[in-house]
Amino acid sequence: MHHSTGGAKGGCYDAGMSDAPLLDPKCIEEIRYIERAAGQDGVLLSGFVRTLERNLAAFRETFCECIARGDATGATRAAHTLKGACRQLGALALGDLFADIEQSAKAGDYAEAKSRFDASATLIAQSLEALKRA
C-alpha cells in the first residue's frame, strides 16, 4: 500500500499542497489487487471506506474535546490518525487536509485547525463518493 510521509517526490504530498487529486489510482489498484488475490472482490475497500466515514464523522467531536481539555497531543494525534488513514486508502486531498490540520494543532493554532475542518465538508463528501465508486 501507498504510505505517504510527506514531500512532493515519489507521489507523496506536502501538507500545504492544495492541488492534490482526490484519489491515487495506483493505491486503489493495489487494494483491488489484494482483494482479488484474497478472493474478496469489493470487500476490503468498501470496509475501509465505511471505517473512514465513521472516523471522519467522529473527528470534530474528538478534536474539540481534546482542545477543550487542553490536550494538544490528543488533538494532533486525532488529525495524524486520519491523515494516515486517508493516505493509505489513496484519498490524497483528504490526507493533505488532515496534514494541514495536524500541523496547525502542533503549532497550537486550534482555531485554524478547526476552521480548515469546518470548511472541508465538500472535500470530504467528494472524496468519500470517489472512494465508494473506485
Q: Could you report the per-residue pLDDT of 4-53, keeping only the tens digit for each?
A: 333 333 333 333 445 789 999 999 999 999 999 999 888 999 999 999 99
**Domain contains 97:** yes
**Domain contains 10:** no
**Domain contains 33:** yes
Q: What is the pTM of this model?
A: 0.82
pLDDT class for 113, splitting at 50, 70, 90?
A: very high
Q: Which long-range contacts (CB under 8 A, 24 or more apart) does 23-28 make?
A: 23/90, 23/91, 23/92, 23/127, 23/130, 23/131, 23/134, 24/90, 24/92, 25/90, 26/2, 26/90, 27/1, 27/2, 27/88, 27/89, 27/90, 28/90, 28/134
Of all residues in the chain, the percent with pLDDT exceeding 90 is 78
CATH at residue 63: 1.20.120
**Domain contains 54:** yes
**Domain contains 123:** yes
Domain assignment of residue 128, given as a range = 21-133
**Domain contains 35:** yes
Domain count, the chain: 1
